Amino acid sequence: MAKTAVDIRDLWVSYNGVPVLEEVNLEIETGKYVGVLGPNGAGKSTLLKVILGLIAPTRGQVQVFGEAPQKLRRRGEVVGYLPQRPLGNPHFPVSVLDVVLMGRYGRVGLLRRPGPQDLESAMKNLERVGIPHLATRAIGEISGGEQQRVFIARALCVEPRLLVLDEPTVSLDACAQDDVFELVHRLKEELNLTVLMVSHDIGGVARHVDDIVCINRRIHVHQAPPIGRLALESAFGCSVEYLFHGEIPHRVVKVHDD
């Protein structure tokens, strides 16, 4: 197995001539659980889409397990992806099992019906995320935390080596957020995955991941947690305070003058 899962060299991405990412150099080792932090508009989602082969860089080189992302995307394997908005309409009348089966379309083709092997894969992944009993429920009838488990199961149906998650804990309460971090960590270990997760939950990231990447157009930090105040200020572009309170999540807040 390749030692490097993601290798990015001098990456630039521009929209209408305006740089969104610039001079990005990033190497992610195979088997790592990496959290990506940064303010809104920092280019986090753009970075993921470049790795997924959904956006072509303006310049620079990107390889995923030694291959071009676009090549992997055409094969519909290797990378499992959970976008920020997994369903356009979360109340669409479709069952949990049908949502998970969508992860098999890259293998079976859009015009073919899933077979017994695909159904088996979908149920196995629902078991992995702890919700096989919800298979027949409508996706809109279950909680936000359960929905995220469904979407993670869908991403696992690709049988990926790299799992990419774009803010999977957004809109979840603190307990549900922590459950997602714990679940992803367990899946990484069980399935030998490399994981790349964008999150605004600095506390959750700091407790669960192997490495943290702080990005704001450029990579400001790439290291194992914890990360200090100066590194966060560099990435977030404002004064921050990094609070440590044992088991209570770390928080980043603006520093106010008395």
Choose among 150, 158, 174, 201: nearest CA to 37: 201
- Domains, the chain, in order of start with CATH, read 1-78+161-258 (3.40.50.300), 85-159 (no CATH)
Nearest-angstrom CA–CA distance, 225 and 75 = 34
The pTM for the full model equals 0.86
Token pair for 133: 């009993």
Q: List all residues 6 or more positions away from 22 whose beta carbon is below 8 Å from its beta carbon.
A: 12, 217, 218
| Residue 91 burial class via C-beta count within 10 angstroms: exposed 0-12, middle 13-18, buried 19 and up | exposed
- pLDDT reading at 255 higher than 80: no
The pLDDT tens digits for 187-227 are 999 999 999 999 877 777 778 899 999 899 999 888 887 77
Supply the pLDDT for residue 246. 40
Choose among 72, 203, 98: nearest CA to 150: 98
Supply the pLDDT for residue 232. 64
Nearest-angstrom CA–CA distance, 64 and 50 = 10
- 110 pLDDT band, cuts 50/70/90, is low
Q: Residue 29 corresponds to which amino acid?
A: E
**Is residue 226 reached through a cis peptide bond, with omega within 30 degrees of 0 on the bond before it?**
yes
Which segment, 8-17, 197-206, 230-239, is predicted with the most confidence on average? 8-17
Radius of gyration of the chain from Cα atoms? Answer: 19
